[in-house]
Amino acid sequence: MAALIAENFRFLSLFFKSKDVMIFNGLVALGTVGSEELFSVVAFNCPCSPARNYIYGLAAIGVPALALFLIGVIWNNHTWNLVAECHKRGIKNFSAAATFLLFGSIMGRAAVAPVTWSVISLLRGEAYICALSEFVKPSSLDKFPAEYGAEVLAKFPCRDVPANLTKFRDEVTRRLRYESQLFGWLLIGIVAVLVFLTKCLKHCCSPLSYRQEAYWAQYRSNEDKLFRRTAEVHSRILAAKNVKQFFGFVALDKEEKELVQEFPVEGVQPSPQWNAITGVYIYRENKGFPLYSRLHKWAKGVEGNGPTPEGHELLFLAS
């Protein structure tokens, strides 16, 4: 039993280590839930006025969702890789399938937070009730007083109504909350089906085996970490050399002195090298050997992003 439990924990550890994107999306969703709860408690305040309710209710759902979507697009590395690709090389080397994969990856990741916000807003129901209370037909309410109209219905979310309308307010609130939560659950179901179909399509169309795809993910993660760490050290040493040349000395702490002595930096990389390792990368092979990134391709001396006589491009974008 102990061995079985240990094996299960080991499996879970490996699973989460290989699912960085899944964990990141989960954290984004949790953060969005917390933000929506805080917004509802602190900021949401229905105006309870005809014509204003609808605009305010939709804005409370749509504007934060739009802002979260744009933030997701901005934070996605694929966005800026695409910008660099279009600026430096254009997209003439991209097929329609590759372009679809790229935009799908950007939009899919950016949609996590806004979809979560919309779902939680619909499940809570306050914004939906605020937006649509004035549009409830009085004729649909049994024995609703004829002298009251949309102006009174618009005040139902604020509970500022005559005593004889309390039961009608409760009925309208219950009806609209039901509709709002129904739309929320339907949105969850639709998103779940889309995610499932997308994952199935991705793995069915992938030219890589499951193990090689996992290795590719590990390589990209390690390359990115090492590149950032090395770039930070390289820039610090280069800055120290330039400061020393200007002042005649440079004030370094013990760790920085060790770095300067251990890693001699003679100069900077020319712009063509930076351009070669920057941009969108689609999985390629050269003479049967995989090229896992633009840096890997540059290190192997392979030019271009399109297919060549010695290699071929496979339409599979890094997730």
**What is the pLDDT at residue 141?**
80
Specify the pLDDT at position 38: 58
pLDDT tens for 291-301 read 999 899 999 88
Widest distance between CA atoms in the chain: 91
Strand order in the sheet with 311-317: 289-291, 282-286, 311-317
Kindly give, in sequence order, each residue whose CB lies less than 8 Å from that of residue 141, ignoring residues fewer than 6 positions away. Answer: 168, 171, 172
**pLDDT tens figures, 13-32:** 433 444 455 555 555 566 66
State CA 239 to chain mean position distance.
Answer: 34
pLDDT-based confidence at 312, cuts 50/70/90? Answer: very low
CA distances from 277 to 75, 78, 91, 176, 280 (A): 19, 14, 16, 54, 9
- Closest CA relative to residue 109, chosen from 277, 318, 279: 318
Closest alpha carbon to 234 in 278, 274, 266: 266
The pLDDT of residue 14 is: 39
The total number of residues shown for the chain amounts to 319
Phi-psi region of 143 (alpha: psi -120 to 50; beta: other; left: phi over 0): left
Quote the distance between the C-alpha of residue 258 and its chain's center: 39
pLDDT for 315 beyond 60: no
Q: Residue ranges of the domains in the chain?
A: 34-205, 210-300
* Percentage of the chain modeled with pLDDT above 90: 28
Span 269-280, mean pLDDT?
87
Chain position carrying tokens 């339409």: 315
Residue 176 burial (10 A CB sphere; 0-12, 13-18, 19+): buried
- Claim: this prediction has a pTM higher than 0.75: no
What does the pLDDT read at residue 195? 87
Per-residue pLDDT of 220-232, as tens digits, reads 999 999 999 999 9
